[in-house]
Amino acid sequence: MEIIEENSDVLLYLDSRRKYLVKAKKGEVLHTHKGFIKLDSLIGKPFGVKVTSSMDVEFIALKPTLKDYLQKMARKTQIIYPKDMGLILLYTNIGPGSRVVEGGTGSGALTGLLASYVKPNGKVYSYETKEEFLKTAEKNLRRIGVLDFVVLKKADLTQGIEESEVDAVVLDMPTPWLVVPHAYNALKNTGVFASFSPTIEQVIRTVEAMRKTGFLEVETFECLVRKYQVETGRTRPETLTVGHTGYLTFGRKFLV
C-alpha cells in the first residue's frame, strides 16, 4: 500500500468536475466551497483514503496520474487534447530510449507526455521562441517529474534542427511546412514526422512540403471522441462534447 509522504502530490477528488491537485505539506490548507482540509493531515495515510473537510464533506485522496497533471497544469497556451496526444504516440512509435524533437513547447503538456514515454534513457529536445512559455513549461515539467528527460531550447525550429538521427519530430506550431526540410534531415531513416494543425490550410501546405521533400505514407486524421453519461435507463451522449480540435498529419522518412 503506497503511503502519502510529506510534499507528495495528491489529487483530492470531490466529483468528476471538482478535483484539486495539492501537495501534502505541513502548514498548508486547501479552502473549498465544501470546507477546508489541512493538507498535513494527509501525510502518513494511504492513497485512496477518504478525508473529511471542516464541513464534514468527504474527499478521496488519489495519486495523480499524468492526465491529472496535464489537466491541472499552469497554461500560457492552449494544449493539445489527450485524444490527439494518443494518436501521436501510436503513429510515432515513441517509447523508452526514443530521441524526439518537439516544436513548440508552449505550456509543456505534450512535452511532458513525450518525456514520460522516452524515459529512462531517451530525450525530448523541445524548441520554443518565447521565454515566458519556456519558464512555464519548466515549472510544469518539474512538477510532473520528467524535467531530467527534456532539453528546453530557446530557438526557432523553422531556422533549423541541431539534433540528428532522431526517432521522431513532433510539431504544434503555426508554420509546420517551414520545418519539413529540417525535419527530414534530422530524422533517422524511417523516422516519423508528426504535425498538429487547427486549420486545413496549414495541413495542405504541410502535406505538399512533405511529398516534395521525401516522406512516405503521408496521412492526415481528425480524431473525434464522444463521452457518454451512463445511468440505468438514461444512458446517452453527454450534452457538451469536444468536437474539432485540429488535424494530425504523419509521414515517414525514406531515402529519396
Q: What is the CATH number of the domain that holds 57?
A: 3.10.330.20
pLDDT at residue 73 above 90? Answer: no
The CATH code of the domain that includes 112 is 3.40.50.150
The whole-number pLDDT of residue 250 equals 98
Asked which of 24, 41, 64 is the last residue of a domain, the reply is 64
Q: Is residue 17 part of a domain?
A: yes
Look at residue 59 and give its three-state secondary structure: strand
Same domain, residue pair 172 and 241 = yes
Is 142 found in the same domain as 26? Answer: no
Cβ 169 vs Cβ 101: under 8 Å: yes
Mean pLDDT across the stretch 50-68?
93
Please say if the pLDDT value at position 76 is more than 80.
no
**50 and 82 assigned to the same domain:** no
* 2 inside domain: no
Q: Which domain holds residue 84?
A: 69-253
244 and 191 part of one domain: yes
Provide the edge-to-edge strand list for the sheet that holds 187-197: 150-154, 123-128, 99-103, 166-171, 187-197, 247-253, 215-221
Residues 238 and 140 in one domain: yes
Mean pLDDT of 218-228: 93
H or E stretch at 132: helix 131-144
Residue percentage of the chain with pLDDT more than 90: 85
Measured in degrees and rounded to the nearest 5, phi and psi for residue 235 equal -70, 130
Residues 20 and 124 grouped into a single domain: no
Angle between helix axes 131-144 and 109-118 (nearest 10 degrees) is 40
Would you say residue 1 lies in a domain? no
Mean pLDDT of 229-252: 91
Q: Are residues 23 and 139 in the same domain?
A: no
* Sign of the dihedral defined by the CA atoms of residues 89, 162, 197, 115, in that order: positive
Cell readout for 120 is 529512462
The pTM (predicted TM-score) of the whole model is: 0.85
Full DSSP string of 168-180 = EEEE-SS-GGGTH
- In a 13 Å sphere around the CA of 249, the CA atoms on its Cβ side amount to 26
Give the number of other Cβ atoms within 10 Å of residue 171's Cβ. Answer: 26
Per-residue pLDDT reduced to its tens digit, 139-178: 999 999 999 999 999 999 999 999 999 999 999 999 999 9
pLDDT for res 243: 79
Nearest to 106 by CA among 78, 144, 81: 78
Which amino acid, residue 238?
E
Residue 54 inside a domain? The answer is yes
Per DSSP, the three-state class of 188 is: strand
Please determine, for residue 120, whether its predicted confidence score (pLDDT) is greater than 70. Answer: yes
pLDDT band at 69 (very low <50, low <70, confident <90, very high): confident
**122 and 229, same structural domain?**
yes
pLDDT at 80: 87
Structure confidence at residue 238 (pLDDT): 87
* 36 and 94 together in one domain: no
Cα–Cα distance measured from residue 105 to residue 96, given in angstroms and rounded to the nearest whole number: 20
Residue 4 falls inside a structural domain = no
Number of domains in the chain: 2
Mean of the per-residue pLDDT values of the chain? 94
Q: Could you tell me if 73 and 47 lie in one domain?
A: no
Are residues 109 and 33 located together in one domain of the fold? no
Per-residue CA distances from 238 to 54, 61, 226, 256 (Å): 33, 27, 8, 48
pLDDT of 77: 67
Summarised one tens digit per residue, pLDDT across range 20-55 is 999 999 999 999 999 999 999 999 999 999 999 999
59 and 168 within one domain: no
Lowest mean pLDDT among 67-76, 111-120, 229-238: 67-76
Q: Which stretch of DSSP H or E encloses residue 11?
A: strand 9-13
- Give CA–CA dist 140/147, Å, rounded: 9
Give SS3 for 4. Answer: coil
Instruction: Give CA–CA dist 214/75, Å, rounded.
Output: 36
pLDDT range class, residue 256, cuts 50, 70, 90: low
